[in-house]
Amino acid sequence: MLTGLLLLNKPVDMRSTKCVELVRNKLGRKTKVGHGGTLDSTASGLLIVLIGLATRLSNFVMDMPKCYEVTAYLGIETSTDDASGDVTRSCECRNINERDVDLALTSFLGWRMQAPPDVSAVHVDGKRAHELARGGHEVLIEKKPVFFASVERTSEISEEGRVSFRINCGKGTYVRSFVRDLGRLLGCGAHVCELKRLSCGPLELDRSVDAGLLDDINKEALVEKLLPPESLCAASASYLCCEEGTKRLINGLNISLHDLKRENFARYSSRTGNVIVRSEKIFSICQFKDPSKPYDLYPEVNIINDRSI
């Protein structure tokens, strides 16, 4: 079975679901195709498409930390917190300088509570927030904890009020909300005018295929671009297991950490505590589940390499 990860560079104004559909059409309707987290249509950058058995890794991929490059437009708030919405507030911002911005950024580091944008895919009373907002209903979205590992200003403030940032953050963070909240903290309002995802865990944009060229790529060339599940090993602590351990994992049984050989330490933080265990025959996402057996790992997701069995 065709299995792997395809890294796409999604252009602005192309929906993530459209990218997935194009890949599915190219590989054949019988091939299972999913994704590891979507991007807004107004955003560009890294979109991870999961093929075949790799679709089982969706939650693992979505949990990986992200890196974004964003340009904020100071002085204007919009209904969507980006350039696609209607202007809801305008304010003079020429008195804001780079030092003001840098001081404000420090309050975003680490864990903080964040309200997603009114126009977002968050569920509110069983409906998507964007459906309620665009239907003229008041949207009250509960704040959620998000994590900012770093926020760095990467440009000066232009005459028009534009300023750029590079953000490393955890799962569930809305960059549109960050820009909105930063603008309010500065007292002038702000919205996103450009947003690009640069990386997701160890997977980076510079290894991606231009999604705008998918119509011109044949199936064989696209298959050559697939990355194996092992490309995710740097996203978590990973271990190598022997034949006996492989058999136990395939049968859904626990294995002992003492019987494994460490491959690498985790380079990227995760809230889930997932551990990767693999061999030539299996790629397994495991967790420590039983407090009475602190060294025992239990398989959560197994991807079996049927070509090696």
Q: Which residues are catalytic?
A: 40
Beta bridge partners of 287: 298
Beta bridge partners of 148: 110, 169
Please give the DSSP secondary-structure letter assigned to residue 156. Answer: P
Please give the DSSP secondary-structure letter assigned to residue 307. Answer: G
In sequence order, what DSSP letters do the residues of 171-205 get, joined into one string? TT--HHHHHHHHHHHHTS-EEEEEEEEEEETTEEG
Q: Hey, what's the torsion of the CAs at 31, 205, 36, 151, to 10 degrees?
A: 180
Q: CA 130: distance to chain centroid?
A: 20
Burial 73-92 (b: 16+ CB within 10 A, else e): bbbbbbbbbbeebeeeeebe
Which residue has tokens 């990227």? 268
Percentage helix, strand, coil, to 5, in the chain? 30, 35, 35
